[in-house]
Structure 1
């Protein structure tokens, strides 16, 4: 939706054969983490599509886009780099074996990995960045399903979200914004913008009717019953996806993503607003 509003073509996947990437490439992969797969090997982690791997794909693609240092600095200097959102998968995989308190010390490592990746891109000539924060995972249906025995006091009485898990996300976002401030200080030539995912999603969770969503906002449109995933034979599909916030529990619906894109783009020309979902520094 951001590309459409800016009048740009949809960004093709970087591994597409015979693709043209002069106007953008998408390196994203489902379930990608910030931390390398080696960190998760104790949990038999099945994937190897971390932020580091995606950077390697970018560096492999680079020679097809520019050749000399001067040419690359000019090309990437007028490009926009979206870095993330990273972190949510790192934490979600840890929820399988660890408590929120055990995961909290991992946050600085995730932030450091994101910050290092941005500096690596700057060395290639990148100067324009959008870096999204993480989502309120305590509201995500798959995460809620992981904790069926949570005590009533662990849920927000208004939204039904798990409070401690959302506080983990807010902690991540606080440290990420601090890290981006430091990057701006070290690289004044770079434009590094933090993009808030947490706030717009919580707005939709707290006031679903305002955005055209049904009141049972924490239910998914595609998936179930039981452990059936969206796309599995026999999985349920809601009649009105545009009236739901969550598509499959992991991803939001197009209606939700359109609203988030509008919030981000509209905020470019308006004064920065402090999120209501911000931990105190």
Structure 2
């Protein structure tokens, strides 16, 4: 018996160094995130639309009322976006600037910018409808930025920055609202068919990023579209009961179905694209939690925006003369489409807690 114990003990002592070597705590740490680059729609556009000929702008009050110096930057919110909070949490910069902003210095490209355009989508027809930057146009601006970075710091350093940067893609809501729920479906028969089409666009864009050297890529899912105040308003009109404001549940179900498909896609892409992390960024869960349990977040109004009546106003309809709520921190949405700064901070913290450990 003593001999057996001695043999087992000797085996464990021999095995211990190997166990320690394989332990996650002894694994080589991932390189720190060097920059944050964003593509997509208004959820990640800090003001690119200020510099293109479109009506989809928010560079006027009351937008920006919670931003430093109450500055309306072109963000469709009272303050910061989720990407701003993420860049700050990562220690990159206080906010992510718009690439088209002429005051952005070439050196700022090395820590991240946004190429996104409010009103845009994964479907080029969505961008064409709003006269905003398509995903292809955003990509061309990214290529231009890469050339500027290479001129500034050389090819090797630029490649290192891109390889260790975080890339965020956030689009799809405008596609669904414009091309499905407005009944302008074109050749697509069902919401599910259109979702599949959008996901081919996601896959193509992720492949482009990977080919350009990106290895940390996050793709945001859809929010609970049926709970956006403008969709709640449309639903209340069709139900002939304008005072009964509730989420349009079939649109939320569509969002959940799309998000499940996106999760499967990002998992496949991570396996296929060697050395990459392609991750699903869940924005549905934190938003629906705020809708269902607002008291947890100190929120009082969940289905009406802070600007104007909160039923329809957004962009050009949310004007300097519009009445705004007394305390925007009590509101989930700032206008009839876009979350408030408080909501964006919750989304960013949710991502930091659930997504970043995987990066």
Aligned counterpart, 1:25: 113
- Is 1:187 aligned with 2:283? no
Larger Rg: 2
Structure 1, unaligned runs of 5 or more: 272-281
Question: What is the TM-score with the length of structure 1 in the denominator?
Answer: 0.83
- Displacement of 1:195 after TM fit? 1.2
Tell which deviates more after alignment, 16-25 or 244-253: 16-25
- The separation in 1 between residues aligned to 2:337 and 2:313, in whole angstroms, is 13
Cα deviation, 1:216-243, whole Å, max 9, x if unaligned, reads 4211111237755453254220001001
Q: 2:208 aligned to 120, 144, 147, which one? A: 120
Question: What is the TM-score with the length of structure 2 in the denominator?
Answer: 0.66
- Is 1:257 aligned with 2:306? no
Cα deviation, 1:152-179, whole Å, max 9, x if unaligned, reads 9xxxx9x921111011111111111111
- Is 1:198 aligned with 2:284? yes
Aligned counterpart, 1:35: 123
- The separation in 2 between residues aligned to 1:126 and 1:40, in whole angstroms, is 25
- Is 1:93 aligned with 2:178? yes
Question: Relative contact order: is structure 1 or structure 2 higher (C-alpha 8 Å, sep ≥ 6)?
Answer: 2
- The separation in 2 between residues aligned to 1:213 and 1:245, in whole angstroms, is 7
Q: How large is the Cα RMSD of the aligned pairs?
A: 2.6
Q: 2:254 aligned to 164, 168, 176, which one? A: 168
- The separation in 1 between residues aligned to 2:255 and 2:294, in whole angstroms, is 21
Distance 1:165 1:114, change over 3 A: same
Instruction: Work out whether residues 124 and 135 of structure 2, in 8 Å CA contact, stay in contact via their aligned partners in 1.
Output: yes
> How many residues matched?
260
Considering fraction of residues, name the structure with more helix.
Answer: 2
> Alignment partner of 2:218: what SS?
strand
Aligned counterpart, 1:278: none
Q: How does 1:126-275 map to 2 (within 5 A)?
A: 126-151=214-239, 160-214=246-300, 216-224=301-309, 228-229=313-314, 231-232=318-319, 234-268=321-355
Cα deviation, 1:162-216, whole Å, max 9, x if unaligned, reads 11101111111111111111111111301122111001100000001111011x4
Q: 1:3 aligned to 70, 87, 90, which one? A: 87
Structure 2, unaligned runs of 5 or more: 1-84
Distance 1:203 1:247, change over 3 A: same
- The separation in 2 between residues aligned to 1:26 and 1:40, in whole angstroms, is 16
